[in-house]
Amino acid sequence: DVVLTQTPPTLSATIGQSVSISCRSSQSLLDSDGDTYLNWLLQRPGQSPQLLIYSVSNLESGVPNRFSGSGSETDFTLKISGVEAEDLGVYYCMQATHAPWTFGGGTKLELK
């Protein structure tokens, strides 16, 4: 199975600070069709996960543009440009290039 390693496991930020989360894959996530199926989700406390970014860098409808995704092959990054209070929770990367689909271990974003 593809292992996704997220760093850091915990991130402390102040409101307005820009932060980045890394997701490193044990295999290239470039599919034979030329696409890369790496997604980012946020699970706020007490809520179900919410899709933020799909296929590396595509912002899901309704998601603020302070969120952005980048990367290729095995290294991916989620950036939040100016953390807001509503951004707190656990962030997951998830790959759907290789079966079985797998998730990273999560990064918890806390207020400093």
Partner 1 sequence: EVQLQESGPGLVKPSQSLSLTCSVTGYSITSNYWGWIRKFPGNKMEWMGYISYSGSTSYNPSLKSRISITRDTSKNQFFLQLNSVTTEDTATYYCARVRRVWGWYFDFWGPGTMVTVSS
User: Would you count residue 50 as binding partner 1 (CB under 8 A)?
Assistant: yes
User: Would you count residue 7 as binding partner 1 (CB under 8 A)?
Assistant: no
- Give the shortest CB-98-to-partner 1 separation in angstroms: 11
User: Would you count residue 49 as binding partner 1 (CB under 8 A)?
Assistant: yes
107-111 and 10-13 as β-strands: parallel, antiparallel, unpaired?
parallel
- E-assigned strand segments in 27-106: 38-43, 50-54, 58-59, 67-72, 75-80, 89-95, 102-103
User: Would you count residue 45 as binding partner 1 (CB under 8 A)?
Assistant: no
User: Would you count residue 88 as binding partner 1 (CB under 8 A)?
Assistant: no
Span near partner 1 by CB under 8 A; candidates 16-24, 67-75, 76-84, 87-95 = 87-95
Backbone angles phi, psi at 78, to 5 degrees: -110, 130
User: Would you count residue 85 as binding partner 1 (CB under 8 A)?
Assistant: no
Contact 4, 102 (CB under 8 A): yes
User: Would you count residue 44 as binding partner 1 (CB under 8 A)?
Assistant: no
Please name the residue that has the structure tokens 């860098």: 57
Q: Give the type of residue at 95.
A: Q
3-state SS of 22-45 is EEEECCCCECCCCCECEEEEEECC
Among residues 19, 80, 94, 109, the one that binds partner 1 under rule CB under 8 A: 94
Site residues for partner 1 per CB under 8 A = 1, 35, 37, 39, 41, 47-51, 54-55, 58, 60, 90, 92, 94, 96, 99-103, 105-106, 108
